[in-house]
């Protein structure tokens, strides 16, 4: 019987780590004392196994558990439960990575479009792409539409809703999507560009299905979703059965820092079908390190079975002056997201947005950017 090999970092003393690792194995499999289990099948095939223990720092250990694939039921919600359900409540445990066997992966399709599919949507072959966000929430649908038109007119590839924009009374989803999509369509007709608008999906399954109906009717080319807010299983089903356009995954509520970001935002969001994954870039408003960001980008786009590459989208407190640095770090297989720093330009918004779009196009097409 195959097993997922989950890697945890545990805090414990050298004297206690063996017992702590065995306790973690029981917690993440049968949640009861091993001596109370009479079934030989359960003891042999279901109970998680401690595969290895290695000290990585004083009082800190890397522990690998073998978790029976059969216990996941082949679905992502139960998989996350088996990997980090109960132990997420134990603050001495961090989930760092997981090895996923082939018989588990066959149930997942990965991105339907991926980085190259997004490039095709916006006409950005062979270069880095640009993205910005409509802010702040509180604006009317008409005001958001006008703002969307400015960004699209400046040549920014993707104009997304801020993830805090949902179905509020001051800018209901249907009215907002109509206004923004019309503005993008008008700007593209004037400039010859291929900018797309990505509205933010929110609510339960019935609400999201209704929002996707509006997306189809309005001819919207992309959507934004927060997998952790809507639920990983819901996100996966939506991508596989209800969605006809690329989806940008936003990391809201993914800051359970004891799941390593390259695993959650990189590999797992990719596994579930995210075509692009937004994450906090180093040196911005959040505390991710450059090393973590590079590892996340690698997880999103490195060769992995036949899964398409997910586009990494570093964001959070970025500005136009950092474009050369970000392209040096991530190469051209990236989408750069700048939001507030463009909006702070005030009356110079169109010019600053055009500077952003032109800078990324020019710099990412140079031969030294890979």
**pLDDT tens digits along 302-316:** 999 999 999 999 998
Residue 254 pLDDT > 90: no
CATH code for the domain in which residue 22 is found = 3.30.70.150
Q: Mean per-residue pLDDT for 340-354?
A: 95
Residue 128 has a pLDDT of 98
Residue 367 pLDDT > 60: no
How many CB atoms sit inside 10 A of residue 330's CB? 23
What is the total count of domains within the chain?
A: 2
Residue 256 pLDDT > 60: no
Residue 14 pLDDT > 80: yes
Whether residue 178 sits in one domain with residue 92: no
Whether residue 369 is contained in a domain is answered as no
Whether residue 71 sits in one domain with residue 43: yes
Q: Mean per-residue pLDDT for 138-165?
A: 98
Whether residue 47 is contained in a domain is answered as yes
Q: Is 60 helix (H, G, I), strand (E, B) or coil?
A: strand
The tokens describing 336, both together, are 């750069």
Whether residue 134 sits in one domain with residue 244: yes
Residue 337 has a pLDDT of 97
Which of 26-35, 250-259, 281-290 is predicted least confidently?
Answer: 250-259
CA distances from 3 to 27, 66, 77, 115, 346 (A): 16, 5, 17, 31, 55
Residues 6+ apart with CB under 8 A from 260: 94, 95, 96, 97, 292
Whether residue 158 sits in one domain with residue 43: no
Which of 285, 353, 361 shows the shortest CA–CA distance to 129? 361
Residue 330 has a pLDDT of 97
Residue 1 pLDDT > 80: no
Whether residue 72 sits in one domain with residue 155: no
Residue 368 pLDDT > 70: no
How many Å apart are CA 33 and CA 48, to the nearest integer? 13
Whether residue 262 sits in one domain with residue 144: yes
Confidence of residue 87 (pLDDT cuts 50, 70, 90): very high
Whether residue 344 sits in one domain with residue 201: yes
Q: Is residue 202 a contact partner of residue 167, using CB atoms and an 8 Å limit?
A: yes
Mean pLDDT of the chain: 95
Cα dihedral 130/135/141/146 (nearest 10) = -60
The number of CA neighbours under 13 Å toward the Cβ of 135 is: 14
Q: Domain containing 206: what range?
A: 114-364
Residue 284 has a pLDDT of 83
pTM of the model: 0.95
Residue 365 pLDDT > 90: no
Whether residue 121 sits in one domain with residue 94: no
Residue 245 has a pLDDT of 98
Q: Which residue has the tokens 């004083």?
A: 58
Confidence of residue 124 (pLDDT cuts 50, 70, 90): very high
Q: Which of 81, 105, 129 is the last residue of a domain?
A: 105
Q: Which of 73, 105, 137 is the last residue of a domain?
A: 105
Q: Is 67 helix (H, G, I), strand (E, B) or coil?
A: strand
Q: Mean per-residue pLDDT for 175-195?
A: 98
CATH code for the domain in which residue 212 is found = 3.20.20.110
- pLDDT per position as a tens digit, 216-225: 999 999 999 9
Q: Is residue 233 a contact partner of residue 75, using CB atoms and an 8 Å limit?
A: yes
Residue 118 pLDDT > 80: yes
Whether residue 278 sits in one domain with residue 222: yes
Cα dihedral 289/291/296/300 (nearest 10) = 150
Confidence of residue 120 (pLDDT cuts 50, 70, 90): very high
Q: Mean per-residue pLDDT for 273-288?
A: 92
Cα angle: 137, vertex 139, 141; to 5 degrees: 110
């Amino acid at each position: 019987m195959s097993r997922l090999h989950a890697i945890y970092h545990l805090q414990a003393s050298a004297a206690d780590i063996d017992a702590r690792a065995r306790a973690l194995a029981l917690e993440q499999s049968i949640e009861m004392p091993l001596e109370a289990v009479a079934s030989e099948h359960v003891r042999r095939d279901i109970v998680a196994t401690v595969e290895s223990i290695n000290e990585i720092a004083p009082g800190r250990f890397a522990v690998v558990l073998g978790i029976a694939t059969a216990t996941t039921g082949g679905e992502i919600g139960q998989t996350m439960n088996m990997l980090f359900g109960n132990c997420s409540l134990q603050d001495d445990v961090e989930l760092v990575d997981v090895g996923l066997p082939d018989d588990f992966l066959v149930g997942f399709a990965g991105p339907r479009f991926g980085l190259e599919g997004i490039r095709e949507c916006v006409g950005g072959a062979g270069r880095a792409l640009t993205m910005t966000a409509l802010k702040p929430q509180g604006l009317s649908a008409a005001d958001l539409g006008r703002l969307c038109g400015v960004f699209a007119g400046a040549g920014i590839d993707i104009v997304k809703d801020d993830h805090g924009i949902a179905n509020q009374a001051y800018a209901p989803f249907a009215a907002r999507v109509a206004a923004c999509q019309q503005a993008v369509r008008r700007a593209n007709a004037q400039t010859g560009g291929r900018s797309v608008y990505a509205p933010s999906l929110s609510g339960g399954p019935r609400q999201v299905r209704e929002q996707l109906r509006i997306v189809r009717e309005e001819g919207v080319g992309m959507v934004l979703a927060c997998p952790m807010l809507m639920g990983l299983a819901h996100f996966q089903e939506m991508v596989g059965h209800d969605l006809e356009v690329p989806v940008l995954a936003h990391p809201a509520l993914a800051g359970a820092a004891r799941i390593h970001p390259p695993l959650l935002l990189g590999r797992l969001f990719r596994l579930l079908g995210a075509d692009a994954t937004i994450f906090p870039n180093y040196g911005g408003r959040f505390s991710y390190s450059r090393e973590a960001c590079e590892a996340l980008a690698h997880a999103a786009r490195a060769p992995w079975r036949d899964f398409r590459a997910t586009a990494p989208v570093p964001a959070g407190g970025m500005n136009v002056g950092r474009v050369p640095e970000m392209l040096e770090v991530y190469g051209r297989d990236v989408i750069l997201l700048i939001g507030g720093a463009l909006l702070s330009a005030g009356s110079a918004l169109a010019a600053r947005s055009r500077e952003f779009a032109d800078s990324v196009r020019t710099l990412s097409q140079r031969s030294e950017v890979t």
